[in-house]
């Protein structure tokens, strides 16, 4: 057995990118030359105390071993432990073979790619034929050629009616009959049509363009936080990095979980806004079955394709000393069905949660499922609706406060550096905060309810033709909203927070931030947002906003693939981090564009096409 890539730690070696290569050929014990060994494995040797000293970087050495058939990995482990203390040996195959699951997913992706090619080719061919016939009919070089072309077109039209193989122009049809029947379905996969709609910056009456800007900026904030988080374990100058993170501006990263609350506010607002518009047109008669089916079909197919890709294909995207840590793939193989049902947020992060970042999708779906309870009550009985929402605000406040106090949880992530000093308890406390408070619907519903209430208030305001706000009210509103938002975002900086203080912070901060964002949405929607509305409504942000869902799905795969593939540590500073972030951002949106064009847009158009055909019967 040929053993390679053994990683260890040596604090007294000055350079992280130094590599020691050693070859050992023990022919006496093996009895056969190394070149005859057919089984190869890559072994990672990682010290358990690797993170015990934040001022020292990990040092990885690479040693190539050749072992005989009589030697085992336990023999190698014992020999290495005589040099490296408190370490663990992890081995994997040096060469990876495609699994049956990977082959199946590749075939599935190939089918989608083929459908895209067929749909795009039909559209391109149809466009070409129409242009050619138009040119021959209208821009002929001579009267004779015009007459000849007209006769040809006439014959072509007659021939099409007879055998279904030629072309006609009377009804703008240029495809054979059998393709004409399938064309609407194939056209759903047309990259030209989908791309035109996806990249369009046109906005119709009644749309709220400011929401596109908020959605895109929130997505860039998510990627920013994950970009910094994914370089934490590959940093060489950890002491300097700690100084960087101790600056007040870094609270934007540490307290970045508010970016998720902005998505909850947007989601609640859009669900409520669209519902009240539809209810006004239909007198409250909503097709509730379609309400749920449409949402599930809208989100799930592309979601499951990403899960399948992540589970089967992503293990083959890279390799390196840190790649063995990329073992959460097994979690998806065992628990993918939790994601299908959108209940994966109830799995502990330590108990095999597939695609840990998808907890947001689960909670958002859960809020969507129960939102008719609030929507119908607000529509039919406004006072009862406000009372019900007030009750749920009290419930989420109580849950956050009691759970934080009972389990002595952190006050968000804003003062995470204070807890980072206590290395043995740091990760358990952070995971406990995630499992108990961060990823549960009863602790996060406050932001969603802010969006629902805001939607109803704006609906009532527009219906009653309320006048605009005066300058004093606008100024006071901006002052209060800005103060609350900044207090939530930066209030924990250099603060020692007691358990009671953490309980109040976790109970109030997300609702406070959501109210601040709600004010921005409110003034922009009523047309008094000024320069803020102009920035958020910039047309260039509309296509990027449409890609936010796919970008959210794929960006952790992009960031983790890089951070798990590096073979040397990086020197952390904000320049390097921002360059990585910009790379992650561009690549994530490029992958999101491909994902949307191949999967998301076709499925959405297919669902709409089938629904229209069924409703016309």
Residue range 456-511, pLDDT digits in tens: 999 999 888 888 899 999 999 999 999 999 999 998 888 888 999 999 999 999 99
Contact 451, 378 (CB under 8 A): no
Res 422: pLDDT: 61
Res 162: pLDDT: 42
Task: State whether the Cα torsion 254-260-261-265 is positive or negative.
Answer: positive
- Taking 90 as the threshold, does the pLDDT of residue 28 lie above it? no
The winner for highest mean pLDDT among 26-35, 50-59, 131-140, 226-235 is 226-235
* Element at 3 (helix H, strand E): strand 2-4
Res 234: pLDDT: 82
| Tokens 């730690």 -> residue | 9
pLDDT-derived band at 54, boundaries 50, 70, 90: very low
pTM of the model: 0.82
* Element at 551 (helix H, strand E): helix 548-563
The winner for highest mean pLDDT among 38-52, 77-91, 325-339, 428-442 is 428-442
The winner for highest mean pLDDT among 118-127, 222-231, 551-560 is 551-560
Is the model more confident about 374 or about 88?
A: 374
Neighbours of 197 (CB within 10 A): 14
Q: Is 465 left (phi over 0), alpha (psi -120 to 50) or beta?
A: left
CA distances from 121 to 42, 126, 189, 191, 601 (A): 46, 8, 10, 9, 17
- Main-chain dihedrals φ then ψ at residue 200, nearest 5 degrees: -65, 140
Res 300: pLDDT: 97
Query: CA 301 to CA 95: how far, in whole Å?
Result: 32
CA distances from 168 to 122, 134, 159, 242, 539 (A): 16, 12, 8, 72, 40
* Element at 362 (helix H, strand E): helix 359-380
pLDDT-derived band at 70, boundaries 50, 70, 90: low
- Taking 60 as the threshold, does the pLDDT of residue 410 lie above it? yes
Query: CA 355 to CA 294: how far, in whole Å?
Result: 23
Contacts of 555 (CB under 8 A, 6+ apart): 222, 223, 226, 584, 588, 592
Res 616: pLDDT: 77
Res 427: pLDDT: 76
- Token digits of residue 333: 């193989």
Query: CA 27 to CA 167: how far, in whole Å?
Result: 77
Res 39: pLDDT: 45
- Token digits of residue 591: 């992958």
| Tokens 């709600």 -> residue | 518
Summarize the confidence of residues 143-152 as an average pLDDT. Answer: 51
Residue 352, SS3? Answer: coil
587-617: per-residue pLDDT in tens?
A: 999 999 999 999 999 999 999 999 988 887 7
Res 6: pLDDT: 36
- Token digits of residue 419: 């807890």
The winner for highest mean pLDDT among 556-560, 576-580, 583-587 is 583-587
Res 107: pLDDT: 97
Q: Whose CA is closest to 269, among 456, 136, 463, 452? A: 452
Average pLDDT over the chain reads 81
419-428: per-residue pLDDT in tens?
A: 566 666 777 8
Is the model more confident about 243 or about 454?
A: 454
Res 438: pLDDT: 92
| Pairing mode of beta strands 40-47, 2-4 | parallel
- Taking 90 as the threshold, does the pLDDT of residue 416 lie above it? no
72-98: per-residue pLDDT in tens?
A: 666 666 666 666 655 555 565 556 788
């Amino acid at each position: 057995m040929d053993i390679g890539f053994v990683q260890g730690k040596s604090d007294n070696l000055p350079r992280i990118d130094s590599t020691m290569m050693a070859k050992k050929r023990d022919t006496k014990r093996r009895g056969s030359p190394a070149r005859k060994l057919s089984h190869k494995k890559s072994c990672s040797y990682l010290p358990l105390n690797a993170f015990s000293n934040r001022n020292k970087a990990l040092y990885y050495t690479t040693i190539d071993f050749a072992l005989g058939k009589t030697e085992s990995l336990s023999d190698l482990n014992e020999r290495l432990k005589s040099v490296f203390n408190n370490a663990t040996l992890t081995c994997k195959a040096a060469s990876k073979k495609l699994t049956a699951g990977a082959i199946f997913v590749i075939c599935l992706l190939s089918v989608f790619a083929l459908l895209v090619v067929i749909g795009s080719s039909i559209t391109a061919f149809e466009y070409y034929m129409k242009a050619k016939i138009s040119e021959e009919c209208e821009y002929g070089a001579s009267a004779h050629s015009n007459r000849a072309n007209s006769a040809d077109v006439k014959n072509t039209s007659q021939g099409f009616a007879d055998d279904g193989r030629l072309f006609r122009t009377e009804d703008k049809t240029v495809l054979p009959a059998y393709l004409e029947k399938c064309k609407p379905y194939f056209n759903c996969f047309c990259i030209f049509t989908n791309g035109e709609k996806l990249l369009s910056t046109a906005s119709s009456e009644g749309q709220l363009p400011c929401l596109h800007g908020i959605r895109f900026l929130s997505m860039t904030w998510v990627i920013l936080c994950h970009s910094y988080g994914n370089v934490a374990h590959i940093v060489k100058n950890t002491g300097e990095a700690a100084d960087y993170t101790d600056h007040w501006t870094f609270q934007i990263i540490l307290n970045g979980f508010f970016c998720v609350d902005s998505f909850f506010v947007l989601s609640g607002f859009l669900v409520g806004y669209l519902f009240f518009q539809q209810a006004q047109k239909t007198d409250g008669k909503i097709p509730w079955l379609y309400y749920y089916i449409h949402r599930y079909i809208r989100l799930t197919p592309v979601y499951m394709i990403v899960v399948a890709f992540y589970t089967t294909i992503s293990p083959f995207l890279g390799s390196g000393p840190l790649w063995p840590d990329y073992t959460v793939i097994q979690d998806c193989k065992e628990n993918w069905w939790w994601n299908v049902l959108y209940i994966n947020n109830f799995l502990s992060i330590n108990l095999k949660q597939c695609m840990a970042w998808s907890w947001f999708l689960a909670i958002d779906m859960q809020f969507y499922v129960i939102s008719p309870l609030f929507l119908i009550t607000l529509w039919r009985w406004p006072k009862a609706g406000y009372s019900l929402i007030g009750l749920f605000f009290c419930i989420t406040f109580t849950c956050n406060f009691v759970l934080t106090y009972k389990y002595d949880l952190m006050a968000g992530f804003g003062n995470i550096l204070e807890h980072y000093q206590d290395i043995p308890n740091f990760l358990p406390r952070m995971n406990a905060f995630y499992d108990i408070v961060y990823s549960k619907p009863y602790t996060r519903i406050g932001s969603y309810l802010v969006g629902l209430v805001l939607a109803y208030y704006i609906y009532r305001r527009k219906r009653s033709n309320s006048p605009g706000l005066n300058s004093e009210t606008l100024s006071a509103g901006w002052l209060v909203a800005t103060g609350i938002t900044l207090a939530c975002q930066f209030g924990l900086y250099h603060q020692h927070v007691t358990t009671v203080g953490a309980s109040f912070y976790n109970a109030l901060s997300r609702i406070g931030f959501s109210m601040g964002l709600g004010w921005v949405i409110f003034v922009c929607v009523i047309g008094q947002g000024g320069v803020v509305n102009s920035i958020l409504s910039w047309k260039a942000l509309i296509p990027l906003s449409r890609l936010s869902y796919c970008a959210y799905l794929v960006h952790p795969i992009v960031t983790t693939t890089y951070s798990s593939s590096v073979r040397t540590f990086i020197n952390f500073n904000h320049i390097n981090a921002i360059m990585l972030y910009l790379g992650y951002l561009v690549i994530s949106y490029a992958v999101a564009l491909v994902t949307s064009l191949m999967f998301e847009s076709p499925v959405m158009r297919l669902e709409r096409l089938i629904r229209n055909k069924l409703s016309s019967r």
